[in-house]
Chains A and B, each alone.
Chain A
Amino acid sequence: MTLHTIITDTLLGVVVLSCWIGAAGMWRMKQPIQALHYNSVPGSLGIITLSIAVFLEAGNSQASWKTLLIALVVLGINSVVGHATGRAFRARELGHWEPLDGDPIEFVRDTEGK
């Protein structure tokens, strides 16, 4: 067993574990907004680790660079679509997504634009 094989197997193990943890965590959470956070485990750790594994396996090839592009798109799904989904949950609940006075977060209210 070569070092290359050991590293590839380890990276693939991390990919599998990240997918399992993400899916199981999402399944266990009661609130959808909590479950939404578990998308980031396979969507960041899993896909980046998989990209490294493909680069090790296929070298400097078109497939490797396309895998990197997929990783960037999935990271975009993770951040942009995840954020849009969270906003949609709040908008669905309140009719708008802006923070309320009683919310446990710090924010500056934009009074000039209104």
Chain B
Amino acid sequence: MNVWLAAALAVSAALVPCADMSLRGNPERRLVGLEMTSIIVTVILILLTVGFGRLPFIDLPLALAIMSFGGGLVFARFLGKHL
């Protein structure tokens, strides 16, 4: 295991509080947890890409980041207006 994979494993521990925020409580807290989860998963995917030496797979975190941007805006709009 190289240092990139070790870092990915360590960052994965930060998903536990994100899961707690996303799965429990009121919709506001859940949305904050979802946004933090998307950032942390993007970081983990970059670390795994470099750690495994499969650099073309960098497109996966790029796609996730772009979709999180749109998804976050939609959820925020929906929360303010309809939920």
Contacts and interface: CB of A to CB of B under 8 A. Distances in A.
Interface string A63-82: 10011011001101110111
A43 B39 contact: yes
Contact of A77 (B29, B56, B65): B65
Contacts of B42: 47, 70, 74
Residue among B29, B32, B68 with the highest chain A CB neighbour number at 10 A: B32
> Chain B: interface secondary structure?
helix
Given A32-B26, A73-B62, A85-B31, A23 B68 contact: no
Contacts, number: 153
B66 interface: yes
B33 to A, nearest CB: 7
17 contacts: A15-B43, A16-B11, A32-B29, A36-B32, A39-B36, A42-B40, A43-B39, A50-B47, A58-B50, A62-B58, A66-B59, A77-B39, A80-B69, A81-B73, A84-B76, A89-B80, A92-B80
Interface residues of B, number: 48
Interface of B: 3-4, 7, 10-11, 13-18, 20-21, 26, 28-29, 31-33, 35-36, 38-40, 42-43, 46-47, 49-50, 55-56, 58-59, 61-62, 65-66, 68-69, 72-73, 76-77, 79-81, 83
